[in-house]
């Protein structure tokens, strides 16, 4: 399988460290997958954000949501999920930073599509997204 292109959605104010760890670890040779991170690389004005992010999500195979403890305040994450859904890009979540099955999920993210941060489970979910989703070349 070619490296999937993934947009990593996360709470910029609370989970930037987890995003860096997730993307960095996906490049480790012991991790059973690698991803191309197509996420926005920095904070940007709202007027540019929606256009740029929508375009980036459209060019990916999946959107991976890093679900932290403060998801209710991460309005941009819900917008990114909605953009992915509008473009038929599959979405799944990974609990990070102490979040778990009792934590709030952002609007649009299904509980049965949110998993613990485990590389084998993540690998399985990525494979499922590649089979289900709109696989862009």
In CATH, which of 3.40.640.10, 2.40.10.10, 3.60.21.10, 3.40.50.9200 is domain 5-28+48-132?
3.40.50.9200
Q: Alpha helix locations (H) across 43-118?
A: 46-58, 75-86
pLDDT digits (tens, 9 = 90+) for 51-74: 989 999 998 899 999 999 998 888
pLDDT at position 1: 53
Q: Tell whether the model's pLDDT for residue 48 goes beyond 90.
A: no
Does 25 have pLDDT greater than 70? yes
Angle between helices 75-86 and 46-58 in degrees, nearest 10: 40
Residue 137 has pLDDT above 60, yes or no: no
Burial of 77 (0-12, 13-18, 19+ CB in 10 A): buried
Q: What is the pTM of this model?
A: 0.90
- Cβ neighbors of 12 (< 8 A, separation 6 or more) are 43, 74, 76
């Amino acid at each position: 399988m070619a490296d999937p292109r993934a947009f990593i959605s996360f709470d910029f104010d609370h989970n930037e460290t987890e995003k860096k760890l997730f993307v960095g670890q996906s490049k480790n040779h012991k991790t059973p997958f690698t991803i191309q991170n197509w996420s926005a690389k920095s904070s940007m004005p709202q007027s540019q954000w929606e256009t740029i992010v929508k375009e980036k999500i459209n060019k990916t195979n999946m959107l991976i949501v890093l679900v932290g403890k403060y998801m209710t305040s991460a309005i941009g994450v819900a917008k990114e999920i909605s953009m992915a859904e509008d473009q038929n890009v599959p979405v799944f979540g990974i609990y990070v930073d102490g979040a778990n099955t009792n934590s709030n999920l952002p609007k649009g993210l299904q509980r049965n599509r949110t998993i613990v941060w485990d590389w084998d489970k993540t690998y399985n979910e990525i494979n499922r997204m590649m089979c289900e989703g709109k696989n862009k070349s």
